[in-house]
């Protein structure tokens, strides 16, 4: 599965700089996300190492940097909180089992070549759930910012406990958190190009906390174990298996969306094209290994990827170097993390949550579309207060219904039924064909469909042939139908059946092979006979006129 093609544009100097730079960026984020998730700083560090390494080795992008991200951490936090509350002894192992299952789901999506479909959802839905995740991440950090352990109950539990947290706030830790946020938001841009603001905040505020406050008076991370991570074997119970599968689907799907959107951004910067299916398989392998080692899941990280490309990285070597540097930090300098205040990591996580919020769309949504704005805010609120999968599912459903309704109005205009005294400029009849239609003296119904015919236009077809009994023949012109779905095929069958029942002869012009095959599958050729299918519109009109003449002679 390891492809050397992605290394053909390797630029060792650029890849080395990319690896070093992204390792520096990843360090504070990995620590912050590990602590925020409840699994510990070491879980965040090993997540950054393992996901980054194996996604770089087996992925489908040349410059994507993968690591624990804000959205993935939010879902993982909810999973671990639920599992550990219900199963204190095995909850942690069950949480990491969900990570392995999510990785297996990603591998399955990639193997089935479904990568290109993962991000096919309305932007208002993507914006809503990403902004919702940003809000969740901010809310969950309020307790550590105020100097307390995170209360049980997630978002609702934190909001419910907020009055008591404020009444008993630790001023020193709040000061450190605010100082962290001040550096993150206001560090001048001229310094950011040399060193990440997160690293500056981590080091500077940690030093301030050592100088100004006693070690024991501040909640601190403690030393990260310097050895290899322990293996976490898959653990589950029969009663929890279904909910674990659902959690894995949510985690895996979010990881796919996060990764592929970031990969698209990377493509736009490098003028390359990633392999979506291979990338999903690579991410799945990485997350399975990460879960097996008790580490956080990850996905493509936008900030790391963009910086990686900007400093000159052009191959997965940058991601491999980054992982090796972080591994060296764990083995050699794990003790340096001991004095880092929890409030500093909470401040970094709040900053990440703030940046996850889709401010660009939030500020412009009301100008672009009121309905899409409503969907965006609805998905965001459902994500924060109900459930991610409910939010996305409902958002996609409502968005699709609205799109179908608009498409229906447009497509109904492409269903035309005319006779000699009711011509339509949108119907492509030549002057000779119009003359043939005039000869029918209002007894020939010319039924013309064009464009993609989706299920929503079936009612329009039914309306147009409602008065079929007033005619003697009908010509069905499908020459400009680009697509014919099953529902419309059945609506056409009903129209033809009604015509037959009214003793109206039907002739069809359908040069499109795919459309003709759809009609054959519902036995239209058997109902009408081969002679009913004509080679041209003019031939169909002539046959219809001949049938009318024969019918008139028979009546006489």
Q: Judge whether 289 lies within some domain.
A: yes
Q: Which of 401, 424, 449 is the last residue of a domain?
A: 401
- Per-residue pLDDT at 512 exceeds 90: no
Buried b (16+ CB within 10 A) or exposed e, 319-353: bbbbbebbbebbeeebeebebbbbbbbbbbbbbbb
Looking at the structure, do residues 188 and 296 belong to the same domain, yes or no?
A: yes
Looking at the structure, do residues 418 and 395 belong to the same domain, yes or no?
A: no
Q: Judge whether 495 lies within some domain.
A: yes
pLDDT of 555 reads 46
Q: Judge whether 408 lies within some domain.
A: no
Looking at the structure, do residues 301 and 430 belong to the same domain, yes or no?
A: no
Q: Judge whether 6 lies within some domain.
A: no
Q: Give the rounded percent of residues in the chain with a pLDDT score beyond 70.
A: 97
**Helix, strand or coil, per DSSP, at residue 162:** helix
Q: Judge whether 406 lies within some domain.
A: no
Question: What's the CATH number where 502 sits?
Answer: 3.30.750.24
At 451, list the tokens. 């464009």
List the Cα angle 164/169/171 in 5-degree steps: 170
CA distance 43 to 40: 5
The number of distinct structural domains making up the chain is 2
CA distance 24 to 47: 15
Contact call for residues 36 and 70 (beta carbons, < 8 A) = no
Looking at the structure, do residues 431 and 452 belong to the same domain, yes or no?
A: yes
- Per-residue pLDDT at 486 exceeds 90: no
**Among candidate residues 18, 9, 12, the one with its CA nearest the CA of residue 303:** 18
- Band (553; pLDDT cuts 50, 70, 90): very low
Looking at the structure, do residues 151 and 195 belong to the same domain, yes or no?
A: yes
Q: How far is CA 39 from CA 8, 93, 244, 296, 418, in A?
A: 38, 11, 17, 8, 70
Looking at the structure, do residues 436 and 341 belong to the same domain, yes or no?
A: no
Looking at the structure, do residues 470 and 549 belong to the same domain, yes or no?
A: yes
CA distance 414 to 481: 10
In tens, the pLDDT along 245-296 reads 999 999 999 899 889 888 888 887 888 888 899 999 999 999 999 999 999 9
Q: Judge whether 278 lies within some domain.
A: yes
Total number of residues shown for the chain: 556
Half-sphere exposure of 332 (CA within 13 A, CB side): 6
pLDDT of 556 reads 42
In tens, the pLDDT along 19-30 reads 998 998 888 989
Backbone angles phi, psi at 549, to 5 degrees: -65, -45
- The separation between the first and the last C-alpha atoms of the chain, rounded to the nearest angstrom, is 79
Q: Give the rounded percent of residues in the chain with a pLDDT score beyond 90.
A: 29
In tens, the pLDDT along 127-170 reads 888 888 889 889 988 988 988 887 877 788 889 988 998 988 89
Q: Which of 347, 373, 401 is the last residue of a domain?
A: 401
Which has more confidence, 397 or 409?
A: 397
Residue 525: exposure state from Cβ atoms within 10 A (0-12, 13-18, ≥19) = middle
Range of the domain at 227: 11-401
Looking at the structure, do residues 392 and 434 belong to the same domain, yes or no?
A: no
Looking at the structure, do residues 256 and 392 belong to the same domain, yes or no?
A: yes
- Band (519; pLDDT cuts 50, 70, 90): confident
pLDDT of 286 reads 96
pLDDT of 179 reads 95
**Ramachandran area for residue 294 (φ above 0: left; ψ -120 to 50: alpha; else beta):** left
pLDDT of 65 reads 93
- Per-residue pLDDT at 423 exceeds 70: no
pLDDT of 51 reads 96
Most distant CA pair in the chain: distance in Å?
A: 113
In tens, the pLDDT along 231-244 reads 999 988 888 899 89
Looking at the structure, do residues 172 and 296 belong to the same domain, yes or no?
A: yes
CA distance 271 to 101: 33
At 264, list the tokens. 């698209």
- Band (430; pLDDT cuts 50, 70, 90): confident
Q: Judge whether 509 lies within some domain.
A: yes
CA distance 96 to 235: 8
Looking at the structure, do residues 343 and 239 belong to the same domain, yes or no?
A: yes
Contact call for residues 1 and 55 (beta carbons, < 8 A) = no
- Per-residue pLDDT at 187 exceeds 60: yes
Hey, which of 45-59, 410-424, 473-487 has the most confident mean pLDDT?
Answer: 45-59
Average pLDDT over residues 214-227: 81
Which has more confidence, 149 or 179?
A: 179
Q: Judge whether 407 lies within some domain.
A: no
pLDDT of 1 reads 59
pLDDT of 87 reads 87
Q: Which of 339, 368, 401 is the last residue of a domain?
A: 401
Which has more confidence, 274 or 408?
A: 274
CA distance 193 to 210: 27
pLDDT of 295 reads 95
Looking at the structure, do residues 202 and 329 belong to the same domain, yes or no?
A: yes
Token look-up 């592929």 returns: 260
Contact call for residues 527 and 495 (beta carbons, < 8 A) = no
């Amino acid at each position: 599965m390891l492809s050397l093609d992605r290394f053909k544009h390797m630029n060792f100097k650029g890849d080395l700089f990319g690896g070093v730079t992204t390792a520096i960026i990843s360090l504070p984020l990995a620590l912050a996300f590990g602590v925020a998730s409840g699994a510990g700083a070491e879980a965040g560090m090993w997540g950054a190492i393992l996901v980054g390494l194996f996604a770089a080795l087996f992925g489908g992008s040349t410059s994507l940097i993968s690591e624990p991200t804000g959205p993935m951490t939010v879902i993982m936090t909810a999973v671990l909180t639920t599992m550990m509350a219900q199963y204190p002894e095995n909850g942690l192992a069950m949480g990491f089992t969900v990570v392995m299952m999510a990785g297996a789901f990603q591998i399955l999506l990639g193997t089935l070549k479904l990568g290109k479909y993962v991000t096919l959802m309305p932007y208002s839905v993507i914006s809503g759930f990403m902004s919702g995740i940003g809000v969740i991440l901010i809310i969950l950090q309020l307790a550590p910012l105020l100097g307390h352990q995170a209360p049980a109950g997630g978002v609702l539990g934190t909001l419910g406990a907020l009055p008591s947290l404020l009444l008993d706030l630790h001023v020193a830790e709040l000061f450190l958190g605010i100082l962290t946020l001040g550096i993150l938001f206001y560090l001048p841009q001229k310094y950011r190009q040399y060193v990440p603001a997160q690293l500056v905040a981590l080091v500077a505020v940690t030093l301030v906390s050592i100088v100004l406050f006693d070690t024991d008076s501040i909640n601190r991370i403690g030393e990260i174990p310097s050895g290899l991570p322990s293996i976490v074997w898959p653990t589950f119970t029969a009663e929890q298996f279904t909910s674990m599968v659902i959690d894995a689907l949510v985690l895996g799907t979010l990881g796919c969306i996060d990764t592929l959107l970031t990969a698209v951004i990377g493509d736009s910067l490098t003028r390359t094209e990633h392999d979506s299916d291979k990338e999903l398989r690579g991410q799945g392998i990485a997350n399975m290994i990460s879960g097996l080692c008790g580490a956080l899941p990850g996905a493509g990280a936008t900030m790391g990827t963009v910086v990686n490309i900007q400093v000159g990285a052009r191959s997965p070597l940058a991601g491999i170097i980054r992982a090796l540097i972080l591994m060296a930090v764990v083995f050699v300098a794990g003790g340096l993390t001991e004095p880092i205040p929890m409030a500093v990591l909470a401040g970094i996580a709040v900053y990440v949550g703030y940046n996850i919020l889709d401010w660009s769309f939030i500020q412009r949504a009301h100008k672009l579309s009121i309905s899409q704005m409503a969907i965006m805010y609805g998905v965001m609120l459902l994500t924060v207060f109900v459930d991610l999968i409910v939010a996305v599912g409902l958002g996609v459903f409502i968005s699709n219904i609205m799109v179908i309704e608009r498409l229906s109005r447009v497509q109904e205009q492409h269903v035309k039924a005319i006779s000699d005294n009711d011509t339509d400029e949108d119907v492509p009849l030549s002057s000779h064909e119009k003359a043939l239609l005039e000869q029918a003296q209002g007894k020939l119904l010319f039924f013309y469909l064009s464009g993609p015919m989706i299920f929503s236009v079936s009612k329009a077809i039914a309306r147009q042939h409602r008065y079929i009994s007033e005619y003697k023949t009908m010509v069905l012109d499908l020459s400009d139908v680009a697509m014919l779905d099953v529902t419309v095929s059945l609506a056409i069958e009903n129209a033809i059946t009604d015509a037959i029942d009214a003793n109206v002869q039907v002739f069809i012009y359908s040069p499109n092979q795919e459309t003709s095959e759809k009609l054959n599958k519902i036995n239209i050729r058997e109902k009408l006979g081969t002679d009913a299918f004509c080679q041209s519109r003019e031939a169909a009109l002539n046959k219809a006129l001949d049938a009318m003449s024969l019918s008139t002679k028979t009546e006489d």
